[in-house]
């Protein structure tokens, strides 16, 4: 278990160091690029999360639903794909604002509050929900939460600046009691899952797909308690890149009707 926790800590630390270096080296000169500039350079700069659904290394091979999807887009458009893993959404957004990244290609929860962000969101790519991550009844040394009402007075952990916070605050209003939210700056959701499994924290909230994909690493966890209804997830680009957004949306609508997309979806369907 300690090895698994260490793996996720190292993964998050390396991602943060890479992104910080890139941001510091470009923040004074960079600005968002639109599609014509991207085509002229021949390179599409993308940031994504390193997790079981978005982007990861499996048997010395790069894998991930979002990785393969953005790779298919870049290949069709004749662009070379440059990917930087980053676990902090705020840093990803800053990178887009400074022209370091053109696209944030992972599951970004689209909410009414997120419309105020500096991002424009693509055509919805996934439909998913958030779930509570806790130790199973047999492994738990704290109160096992069976439903949303039992979250009253509990403390849940999420990554820093995660859009999931909006849902938890709304849920707190719905149940008429306080749910304490702790945002952890340097941890991804998979790292938080490792902490729950190890007993360092009791509850975390994350996207069901990522939670399901990580259960093989943490069989002592339970993710059966739903926190939200199904919601849309999409990619993000700068609001200063309307041509890029239109190009991505047009391609996504066509590609998601293709046989190739269905094969890709089936490949990662369990996640």
Q: What is the pLDDT of residues 185-244, one digit of tens each?
A: 878 888 999 999 999 999 999 989 889 888 888 999 999 999 998 889 999 999 999 999
Task: Report d(CA 264, CA 71) in Å as an integer.
Answer: 12
Segment 111-138 mean pLDDT = 88
- List 109's β-bridge partners, or say none: 233
Q: Can you read off the two tokens belonging to residue 200? A: 């360092």
Residue 228 lies in a domain: no
Shortest CA distance to 108 belongs to which of 162, 169, 183, 47? 162
**Is residue 101 within 8 Å of 47, Cβ to Cβ?**
yes
Residue 6 lies in a domain: yes
Residue 29's pLDDT is what? 53
**Is residue 192 within 8 Å of 159, Cβ to Cβ?**
yes
Residue 5's pLDDT is what? 46
How far is C-alpha 129 from the geometric centre of its chain's CA atoms?
A: 12
Residue 153's pLDDT is what? 96
Place 270 in a pLDDT band, splitting at 50, 70 and 90: low
Task: Report d(CA 90, CA 184) in Å as an integer.
Answer: 12
Please say if the pLDDT value at position 13 is more than 70.
no
What is the tens place of the pLDDT at every residue in 22-55? 444 444 458 999 999 999 999 999 999 988 889 9
Residue 215 lies in a domain: yes
Residues 139 and 119 placed together within one structural domain of the fold? no
Segment 67-87 mean pLDDT = 96
Residues 137 and 154 placed together within one structural domain of the fold? yes
Residues 110 and 239 placed together within one structural domain of the fold? yes
Task: Report d(CA 180, CA 165) in Å as an integer.
Answer: 10
Residue 87 lies in a domain: yes
Name the average pLDDT for the chain.
87
* Sign of the torsion angle spanned by Cα atoms 185, 196, 8, 83: negative
Residues 140 and 123 placed together within one structural domain of the fold? no
Residues 51 and 109 placed together within one structural domain of the fold? yes
**Is residue 145 within 8 Å of 134, Cβ to Cβ?**
yes
Residues 168 and 192 placed together within one structural domain of the fold? yes
Quote the DSSP letter at residue 123.
Answer: S
Please say if the pLDDT value at position 17 is more than 60.
no
Residue 82's pLDDT is what? 97
Residue 11's pLDDT is what? 52
Residues 10 and 115 placed together within one structural domain of the fold? yes
What percent of the chain has pLDDT above 90?
A: 60
Residue 227 lies in a domain: no
Residues 12 and 123 placed together within one structural domain of the fold? yes
Residue 250 lies in a domain: yes
Residues 23 and 113 placed together within one structural domain of the fold? yes
Domain residues for the domain of 26 are 2-127+233-267
Residues 116 and 163 placed together within one structural domain of the fold? no
- Look at the chain and report how many structural domains it folds into: 2
Task: Report d(CA 187, CA 192) in Å as an integer.
Answer: 6
Q: What is the CATH number of the domain that holds 207?
A: 3.40.190.10
Residues 153 and 203 placed together within one structural domain of the fold? yes
Residues 118 and 149 placed together within one structural domain of the fold? no
* Residue of 188 and 145 predicted with greater confidence: 145
Residue 25's pLDDT is what? 44
Helix, strand, coil % (nearest 5) of the chain? 40, 25, 35
């Amino acid at each position: 278990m300690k090895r698994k926790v260490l793996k996720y800590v190292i993964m998050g630390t390396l991602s943060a160091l890479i992104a910080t270096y890139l941001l510091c080296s470009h923040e004074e000169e960079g600005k968002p690029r639109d599609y014509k500039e991207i085509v002229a350079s021949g390179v599409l700069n993308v940031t994504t999360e390193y997790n079981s659904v978005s982007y990861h290394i499996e048997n010395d091979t790069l894998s991930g639903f979002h990785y393969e999807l953005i790779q298919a887009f870049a290949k069709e458009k004749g662009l070379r794909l440059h990917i930087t893993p980053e676990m902090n959404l705020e840093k990803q957004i800053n990178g887009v604002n400074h022209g370091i990244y053109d696209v944030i290609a992972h599951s970004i929860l689209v909410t009414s509050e997120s419309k105020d962000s500096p991002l424009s969101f693509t055509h919805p790519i996934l439909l998913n929900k958030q779930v509570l991550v806790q130790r199973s009844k047999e492994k738990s040394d704290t109160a096992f939460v069976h439903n949303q009402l039992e979250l009253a007075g509990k403390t849940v952990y999420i990554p820093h600046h995660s859009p999931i916070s909006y849902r938890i605050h709304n849920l707190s209003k719905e149940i008429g009691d306080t749910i304490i939210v702790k945002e952890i700056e340097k941890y991804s959701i998979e790292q938080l899952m490792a902490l729950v499994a190890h007993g360092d924290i009791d509850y975390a909230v994350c996207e069901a797909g990522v939670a399901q994909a990580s259960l093989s690493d943490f069989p002592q966890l339970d993710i059966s308690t739903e926190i939200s209804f199904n919601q849309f997830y999409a990619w993000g680009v700068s609001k200063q890149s309307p041509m890029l957004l239109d190009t991505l949306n047009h391609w996504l609508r066509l590609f998601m009707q293709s046989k190739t997309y269905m094969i890709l979806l089936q490949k990662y369907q369990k996640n």
